[in-house]
Structure 1
Amino acid sequence: MKFTRINVKTSIALTLLAVLTLAGCKAPPPPVTDDTVVTSEVDGVTLTHRHAVQAPQTFSPVNETYRALYNASVMTRPDFSGNVVRYLENGKPFTVLGEVENHWLAVAETDQQELIGYVPFKAGVKEDLYDATVRNDRPRPRKSVKKVCVDVGDKSKACRNSDTATWILE
C-alpha cells in the first residue's frame, strides 16, 4: 500500500507542477496588422497611429485646426511614395498635429490626437486664415485692353480682338 501512496503523491505533485508551470505562460500577442494601433516617440513627442502609417523621422508640434484647400490625398508616409489612406474634403476642418520632414503635415481627425497620415504643406491653411486665403485665390477680372490696330495698306487696318486674341481686317 505504501507503494501506491507514493505513486499517488508523485502523480499529484507532477500534476500540480505542470499546472503551475502552464499558469505562468501567457497567450501569444495577436498578430500585427495594418490596423493595429501602435505608438512611436519622435523628437520627444509620443504619436499614436495605425501600423500602416509610417512614423515620421522629425516632428515639430503644431496642434492647430486647419481647413483643406482642396481634396488632398492623406498618405501613409510624408511623400508621394506612400499609399493613400483617405482624402481630405475641400473646405472641411482637420487637426494638424505637427510638421514633419519634406514640409509635410502630420494630420488627425478634427479634435483627435491619433495620426491618420500626412498631407503636403499647401493642402491646408489655419482655420482662421481660410476665408481670406480663398478670397485672395479667386481669379481676378482682366483689365480691359485698349484696341490694338495696325495699318495694312490702302485705308485698311487689322485690329486685334482682346477677348480671343484674333486679328480682324477692317
Structure 2
Amino acid sequence: MSYAFHSKKNFMRIMVKIRIALSLLFVLTVAGCKAPPPAMTDDTIISSTVDGVKLTYRHAVQPPTSFTPVNEEYRALYDASVMNRPDFGGKLVSNLENGKPYTVLGSVENNWFAIAEQGQEQLIGYVPLRAVVKSDLYDKTVKADSRRKRVRAASKKTCVAAGDSKACQNSNSGTWIID
C-alpha cells in the first residue's frame, strides 16, 4: 500500500480531524431543524375566513358556517350565556353583563349573533338574537319592557261540594267559607 500511515502520530491527527468534521456535520444538521409548533390549547388564537370575512377567535370557539357582517355596537338585555357555537348545545364560554355594550361582528346560522368585546374584533362567542339590542334602542327597549303591565294569573277558586252545601277556600287568606 502506497498511502500507508507514516506514524501513529499521523494516524491520530487524521482521526481527530474526522471526529471534528463529523461533530460539525452533526451540529449543522441539528441546528437546521425547526422546533415543533406549540401545542394547541383552548386559548390559542386562530383565524379563518367565512363568506369572505376573516374572523379571529380562540381555539375553543368554533367558526360559523355562514356569516353576514354587522359590525355595530349592541347592549346586553340580560346576563345571557355566550356559547362556543351558535346553538344551545355548545359549551358555555362566558356570560354577557346586563346593559354592557358589545360589538356584534355579524349574524350567523340559527339566528345567533357572533359577538366581540366592545371596540374589539376578536370573536368571543355566540348569543341568541334576543340577548342583545342596538345600543341606540337600549333605553327605549328597557322602558317599554318595564311599562308592560304584568298580569297575574287569575286565582282559581277552590270549592268542594258535599251534599246540599258547598265550601270554598278564600284565595287571599286560605280560610274555608261554607255556603
Identify the TM-score tier after normalising by the shorter chain: 0.7 to 0.9
Which consecutive residues of structure 1, in runs of 5 or more, have no partner in the other structure? 143-163, 165-170
Deviations along 1:68-101, one digit per CA (max 9) or x if unpaired, are 1111100000000001111111111111111111
Whether 2:147 is the aligned partner of 1:113: answer no
Task: Using the TM superposition, give the Cα deviation of residue 5 of structure 1 relative to its aligned residue in structure 2, in angstroms.
Answer: 2.1
Q: In the alignment, which residue of structure 1 is the partner of 2:39?
A: 31
Amino acid at match of 1:60: T
Q: In the alignment, which residue of structure 2 is the partner of 1:11?
A: 19
Amino acid at match of 1:25: C
Which consecutive residues of structure 2, in runs of 5 or more, have no partner in the other structure? 1-8, 151-171, 173-179
Q: In the alignment, which residue of structure 2 is the partner of 1:44?
A: 52
SS of the residue 1:116 aligns to = strand
> How many pairs does the alignment contain?
143
Call closer, same or farther: CA 1:59–1:22 in 2, change over 3 Å: same
Amino acid at match of 1:29: P
Amino acid at match of 1:21: T
Q: In the alignment, which residue of structure 2 is the partner of 1:57?
A: 65
TM-score, length basis structure 1: 0.79
Question: Which entry has the higher C-alpha Rg, 1 or 2?
Answer: 2
SS of the residue 1:138 aligns to = helix
Q: Which runs of 4+ in 1 moved over 3 A?
A: 139-142
Task: Using the TM superposition, give the Cα deviation of residue 141 of structure 1 relative to its aligned residue in structure 2, in angstroms.
Answer: 4.6
Deviations along 1:86-143, one digit per CA (max 9) or x if unpaired, are 111111111111111111000111111111100001111110111122222234459x
Call closer, same or farther: CA 1:78–1:140 in 2, change over 3 Å: closer
Q: In the alignment, which residue of structure 1 is the partner of 2:175?
A: none
SS of the residue 2:87 aligns to = coil
Identity within the alignment, %: 66
Q: In the alignment, which residue of structure 2 is the partner of 1:135?
A: 143
Q: In the alignment, which residue of structure 2 is the partner of 1:148?
A: none
Q: In the alignment, which residue of structure 2 is the partner of 1:85?
A: 93
TM-score, length basis structure 2: 0.75
Match of 1:104 among 96, 112, 117: 112
